[in-house]
């Protein structure tokens, strides 16, 4: 029987790329997002690749609507096997330029949206004693950077919430699994859609990876959910370990570099942002999985490939840690 997979944030970016991978497997793919145009295009891709799509237009900040998504999915395909929380919202701006309404909205989507999806999935998975939940996290959930205080706060919250829930599932001896995939900077359309008060066009902090790299990490984690978390990209490993080993020098380094490294030389986008309403309601507005940084984005991650093999995991981590230590020496010397 084909597996049934629910993906939030499926109209673009990592969610869209993940939906394509499950389409190639012939899975039943429930596509959840606010932008109906993007979802329809994603559904066409899944169907063309051999999967069975189901479009569900929903704001994941609305717990009742998320519950309705699960009901529709099970009515169409039967029991849920995998639930992937991927949708998010953000604002690029210093904290004192983000309004209370904007901060609340980011938290409602990026953190409570994951809580809503997880709760809805567990209502169905726990009685059956099977199923997998994958949280699409970020290196910024452990190492915050400037200009993204609301997003970083929400990603930190996801880590804390998921760790607590994981221990509860272990206490029960449950066969329902939950895992987190910590992501690097990814070339997604968010940098065209995000609300920004920066003087220049926002960008992901290099090194940048293509969404297909992230999607492969998500699917692998769903297939092997017993590990607490997975890292995608050597930069993710290096960032997390650098923060654990020398957070104060890293703070000072980011204070100097974190503003410029998140902006290009281009003018900021002139169109609408997607904080309170989608910008891909019409198929003509669909942007697919990729953003505008194809020329500088990596299509492969050696760290991700090695990390799939237990014998190579220690080597992979050691190499990334060595890189972090070298970077820390430079940071410490500059901060002195």
Q: Are strands 229-231 and 176-182 parallel, antiparallel or unpaired?
A: parallel
- Burial (CB count within 10 angstroms: exposed 0-12, middle 13-18, buried 19+), residue 74: middle
DSSP string, 23-56: HHTT-EEEEEES-HHHHHHHHHHHHHHT-EEEEE
Count of CB atoms within 10 A of residue 323's CB?
16
Tokens 């570099």, located at residue: 257
What is the spatial distance between Cα 224 and Cα 180, in angstroms, rounded to a whole number?
Answer: 11
Say if residues 68 and 39 touch (Cβ distance below 8 Å): no
- The label of the residue with tokens 């009742």 reads 64
Q: Catalytic pick from 151, 209, 231, 253?
A: 151
22 included as an active-site residue = no
Strand intervals (E) in the chain: 4-8, 28-33, 52-57, 82-85, 91-92, 131-136, 176-182, 185-186, 195-196, 208-209, 229-231, 297-298
Structure token pair of residue 97: 């330029």
Q: How many helices and strands in the chain, by DSSP H and E?
A: 12, 12
How far is 293 from 301, CA to CA, in rounded Å? 17
Contact, 77 vs 127, CB < 8 A? Answer: no
Alpha carbons within 13 angstroms on the beta-carbon side of residue 130 total 7
Tokens of 308: 């799939």
Residues with a catalytic annotation lie at 151
């Amino acid at each position: 029987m084909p597996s049934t997979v629910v993906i939030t944030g499926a109209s673009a970016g990592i969610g869209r790329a993940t939906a394509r991978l499950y389409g190639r497997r012939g899975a039943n793919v429930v596509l959840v997002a606010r932008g109906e145009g993007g979802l329809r295009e994603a559904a066409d891709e899944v169907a063309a690749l051999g999967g069975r799509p189901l479009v569900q237009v929903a704001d994941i900040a609305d717990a009742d609507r998320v519950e309705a998504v699960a009901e529709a999915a099970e009515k169409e395909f039967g029991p849920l096997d995998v639930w992937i929380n991927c949708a998010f919202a953000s604002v690029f701006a210093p904290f004192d330029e983000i309004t209370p309404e904007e901060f609340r909205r980011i938290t409602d989507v990026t953190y409570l949206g994951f809580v809503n999806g997880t709760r809805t999935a567990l209502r169905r998975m726990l009685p059956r004693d099977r199923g997998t939940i994958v949280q699409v996290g970020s290196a910024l959930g452990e190492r915050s950077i400037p200009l993204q205080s609301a997003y970083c706060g929400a990603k930190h919250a996801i880590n804390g919430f998921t760790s607590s829930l994981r221990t509860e599932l272990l206490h029960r001896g449950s066969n329902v699994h939950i895992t987190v995939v910590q992501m690097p900077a990814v070339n997604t359309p968010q940098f065209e859609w995000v609300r920004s008060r920066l003087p220049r066009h926002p960008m992901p902090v290099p090194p940048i990876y293509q969404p297909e790299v992230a999607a492969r990490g998500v699917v692998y984690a769903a297939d092997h959910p017993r590990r607490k978390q997975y890292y995608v990209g050597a930069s993710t490993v290096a960032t997390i370990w650098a923060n654990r080993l020398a957070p104060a020098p890293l703070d000072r380094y980011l204070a100097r570099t974190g503003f410029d490294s998140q902006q290009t030389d281009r003018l900021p986008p002139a169109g609408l942002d997607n904080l309170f309403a989608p910008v891909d309601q019409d198929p003509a507005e669909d942007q697919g999985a990729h953003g505008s940084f194809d020329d500088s984005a990596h299509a492969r991650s050696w760290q991700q490939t090695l990390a799939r093999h237990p014998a190579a995991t220690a080597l992979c981590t050691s190499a990334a840690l060595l890189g972090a230590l070298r970077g820390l020496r430079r940071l410490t010397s500059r901060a002195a």
